[in-house]
Amino acid sequence: MRVIVVGAGVLGSMHAWQAVERGHEVVHLERETEARGASVRNFGLVWVSGRAQGEELDTALRARELWESIGARVPDLGFRANGSLTAIRTEAELAVAEQALALPDAAARGYRLLDPDETRAANPALRGKLLGALWCGRDAAVEPRTAQPALRAALEATGRYTFLPGREVREVVGENAVRDDHGDVHTGDLVVLCTGAWLGGLVRELAPALPVRRVRLQMMQTDPLGETLTTSVADGDSFRYYPAFAGTALDRLRETQPQPPVAAEHRMQLLMVQRRDGGLTIGDTHEYDQPFGFDVVEDPYDHLVGVVEDLLGRPMPRIRRRWAGVYAQCVDTTRVVHRERVRDGVWLVTGPGGRGMTCSPAIAETTADLANL
């Protein structure tokens, strides 16, 4: 078969990967010169630990397997099975972690509760005052700024993949073709639209009642830390934002330990990952009400710096970059992704939310199965 994939973010790239892996030919169109949206403006986390029980966790665990197998073949993905530590600083946070250990799927997530000495043994860079940490052995990381180019290079080496950047798709023609803004028509046996946070124009015409919203976030990256951050790191506020931790202990945490005003206003948690150059990617905020601001706000960065320095027990390296990103999220946040056959041979796949980097390989695998690739 000849498959037309629209959108070269991580979701589109993984759909292209699945098609080529199954023996098909792919023509891959991207309106930019390369992906510039949420697929590169993220942590590069393969984040299993906080996923909701059921389909979401199953998808994340399958994606984790696929990331590792693809990473072994494409080293420039920068895949590393580094696990994560959610740092615990209060008794209320400790109670949430203890309740998480009782989940029936705790072992599948790789959960283990570490005391302060075990936490520092696992990640010596965490020198701040801690009660311990929740370890998740299934979490991993990739390099978001190099993942898509690395995947494309591997795909091009097969001889069955063509990448066409700078091509904005303006029209779906019939049930197996698209027309781009150069006037060219690209015909195949199947069309897969992975348009990310681009929800207007063609997407609105094809799916006017699309149950997907846009979410804006702010993040930053630092100069090299000067030592190895052996795991990904989250703070106790992350318990508030991941469905796996819902329960009576989290209810008590929310009642007895309100977030600082700036963290509550911007719906913040700390996530921190070390890049291959030694710098730290740190975030993030969540903004849901549109129109979004066109500028970044400094108060959240100040809050994150304070949290990072508290965990590291040392000054944070100089901030090298700050940015804002926008991703697409299903309005029903219990859904992993919105997948819709808008015409017989045309599938629209969007809205994985903050799960895009984590779940994209498994999402693409499911699409390929449903489309009989």
β-sheet bridge partners, residue 158: none
Both structure tokens of 138: 């299934």
- pLDDT the model gives residue 50: 94
Summary count for the chain: helices (H), strands (E): 11, 19
Per DSSP, helices labelled H in 113-184 are 116-122, 144-156
Q: What's residue 36's pLDDT? A: 87
What value, to the nearest 5°, has the Cα angle with vertex 252 and ends 247 and 254?
A: 95
Quote the CA–CA distance of 10 and 18 in Å, as a whole number: 12
The pLDDT of residue 147 is 93
Per-residue pLDDT in tens (0 to 9) along the chain, 373 residues: 999 999 999 999 999 999 999 999 999 999 999 888 988 999 999 999 999 999 999 999 999 999 999 999 999 999 999 999 999 999 999 999 999 999 999 999 999 999 999 999 999 999 999 999 999 999 999 999 999 999 999 999 999 999 999 999 999 999 999 999 999 999 999 999 999 999 999 999 999 999 999 999 999 999 999 999 999 999 999 999 999 999 999 999 999 999 999 999 999 999 999 999 999 999 999 999 999 989 999 999 999 999 999 999 999 999 999 999 999 999 999 899 999 999 999 999 999 999 999 999 999 999 999 999 9
Name the one residue in this structure whose structure tokens are 């150069």.
182
Say if residues 300 and 262 touch (Cβ distance below 8 Å): yes
Q: Using DSSP bridges, classify how beta strands 190-193 and 2-6 pair: parallel, antiparallel or unpaired.
A: parallel
Calpha distance 274→207 (Å, rounded) = 39
Domain ranges in the chain? 1-83+138-211+335-373, 84-137+212-330
Supply the pLDDT for residue 102: 96
For residues 30 and 8, the answer to whether their CB atoms sit within 8 Å is yes
Q: Cis before residue 284, ω within 30 degrees of 0?
A: yes
Question: Under a CB-based contact definition with an 8 Å cutoff, are residues 350 and 360 in contact?
Answer: no
Q: Tell me the sheet residues that pair with 273.
A: 281
CATH code, residues 84-137+212-330 = 3.30.9.10
3-state SS of 115-129 is CHHHHHHHCCCCCCC
Q: Which CATH superfamily is domain 1-83+138-211+335-373 in?
A: FAD/NAD(P)-binding domain (3.50.50.60)
